Structure 1
Amino acid sequence: MLERLLRIDPRYFDVSRLARCTKQIKGLHVLCKPMSEVIIQLMEPEEFEGETMRYFRDVMDHITTIEEDCERHLDRCRSLIEDFHNARAVQQNDVSYILALVAAIFLPAQFLTGLYGMNFTNMPELEYHNGYYIWWAVVLFIALATMIVFKFYKKWL
């Protein structure tokens, strides 16, 4: 279920839930080790025979199976955590990419605003009657030209 949720939308993936599962599996794995040691010690002196020894072997097999299952599930949890981090990195890269494109498109407008906002007295283009509209036309033209370059030449959009 967690794998499916991670594939659908990593933003809603509950890493704390996965951490709790990992903690519980580790706890179970830690509990199995002393149990297997006790069973091995009980089997060593061979005081028990027949049905009891078969029972100990059966218990040992079950404990070994549980330990192997715990290791397998821990590996899967580690893999899911790694997949989650990779998915988040991809999302962050996508957001950074979009922010960089938006900044690149609006950078010329900021430059022109800074240039014409310096309050110099001998800038003849500031005295034009339609200077405001010309400024907007130039800014829009540069923004559209930037977007066209990104879309068709660079294949970034």
Structure 2
Amino acid sequence: MIIEPALVNPTAEDDLLGVDPFIFGYGFAADGAPTRLTWEDLISGKAAEYPRYWVHLNRLSKQAHGWIFRKSGLDRVVAHALVQEETRPRSQHHGRGFLINLRAVNQNEGADPEDMVALRMWASDTVLITVRARPVQATRDVEAWILAGDAPNSNGGLVAALASALTNRMEPEVANLDSRADTFEDQVLDPDVRMPRAELAEFRRTVLGLRRYLVPQREALSQLLREGSADGLFPESIALQLRESVDRVTRLAEDLDAIRERSVVLQEQIMEERTDLTNQRLFVLSLLSAVFLPISFVTGLFGVNLGGMPGINSPMAFAILSLVLLGTTGLMLAIFRWRRWM
């Protein structure tokens, strides 16, 4: 059962929590000229007077929830999908528009890039609604293009621009992971450098965290391209741009697969080297035990302090015994060297 949130007062709980429901928005005239929108334009219905508009909302705001469920004109299935807690990348044709969930690398201060942030979208010919909980830098990139006069001439173009901006932000992170994999390989090959296993394990976790969402994102964009081109949301020029984003995401996913495989090989190589080092140390201890075994036997035998022991009354007995033990040790070492055990 889907429970709709109440439309709360703008001065109530959200203001107390410091949550702004409205991040930015633009209305586009017939010639494509953008006009900045406000939260008041949205709740009053003025935004709908434009041929098309784009609003970017904060999912953590109850006011945003209220507008999505009560004022946006979206059905409950789409509204609920835009505000739900957990999502995975997907694209679904629903009615006259598309429900799109994509992921972006987390480039916020103090955050880990693999802790990817969600960007939910509802896209139709006239309306583009994007919703996020944590800042998505790619949306600001597209906004900068709009302010620079490079606004796409359709909402499909805005979706393609967002997909491209998300991919632009991912590429440096994947390239950085590839560079770190090269560094790890150099460290493994350098006998003077000992790389902590925890560092490589954390690296593998980062790669897997990115891959977890990047592979489904490739499928989501591919499905969006197929269905959006058939529906008319993406004309040929826009479809070409979106296809380029699909190809780039595919390449990034393949790069992550290669990095993951390299990290597995590095982990196995480190384990082999440490196993070899342990075996070498155990082998040295075994040789030492074998060398001193006859010495221990003889000294133990002569230490029983019983009558009849040879050399008890001879002043040369200790020297002779020491020479015999040294000779035995030399003989054992010569045998080990001859058998190439050391």
TM-score, scaled to structure 1: 0.89
Query: Which one is further off, 65-74 or 81-90?
Result: 81-90
Say which SS state the counterpart of residue 341 (structure 2) adopts.
Answer: coil
Task: After TM superposition, give the deviation of residue 38 of structure 1 in Å.
Answer: 2.5
Partner of 2:261: 75
Aligned length: 156
Task: After TM superposition, give the deviation of residue 33 of structure 1 in Å.
Answer: 2.5
Q: Quick one: distance in 1 between partners of 2:192 and 2:289?
A: 27
Residues 150 and 156, structure 1, Cα contact 8 Å, conserved in 2: yes
Match of 2:292 among 93, 103, 106: 106
Partner of 1:57: 243
Match of 2:315 among 129, 148, 151: 129
Task: Report which structure shows greater RCO (CA 8 Å, sep ≥6).
Answer: 1
Residues 105 and 146, structure 1, Cα contact 8 Å, conserved in 2: yes
In structure 2, list runs of 5 or more residues that go unmatched. 1-182
Partner of 2:213: 31
Partner of 2:189: 7
Query: Which one is further off, 7-16 or 134-143?
Result: 7-16
Q: Deviations over 1:12-40 (max 9, x none)?
A: 12222211111111111112123223212
* Structure 1 consecutive aligned stretches of length 4 or more whose deviation exceeds 4 Å: none
Residues 10 and 84, structure 1, Cα contact 8 Å, conserved in 2: no
Task: After TM superposition, give the deviation of residue 11 of structure 1 in Å.
Answer: 6.6
Q: Quick one: distance in 2 between partners of 1:126 and 1:74?
A: 72
In structure 1, list runs of 5 or more residues that go unmatched. none
TM-score, scaled to structure 2: 0.43
More helix, by proportion = 1
Partner of 2:72: none
Q: Quick one: distance in 2 between partners of 1:2 and 1:133?
A: 57
Task: After TM superposition, give the deviation of residue 142 of structure 1 in Å.
Answer: 0.5
Q: Quick one: distance in 2 between partners of 1:127 and 1:115?
A: 17
Alpha-carbon RMSD: 1.7
Q: Quick one: distance in 2 between partners of 1:24 and 1:126?
A: 73
Identity %: 25
Larger CA Rg, structure 1 vs 2: 2
Match of 2:224 among 24, 38, 42: 42
Partner of 2:278: 92
More strand, by proportion = 2
2:313 aligned partner, one-letter code: E
1:25 aligned partner, one-letter code: V
Q: Deviations over 1:63-100 (max 9, x none)?
A: 10111000000010111111111111221222122112
Query: Which one is further off, 93-102 or 76-85?
Result: 93-102
Task: After TM superposition, give the deviation of residue 130 of structure 1 in Å.
Answer: 2.4
Q: Quick one: distance in 2 between partners of 1:124 and 1:145?
A: 23
Match of 2:327 among 141, 154, 157: 141
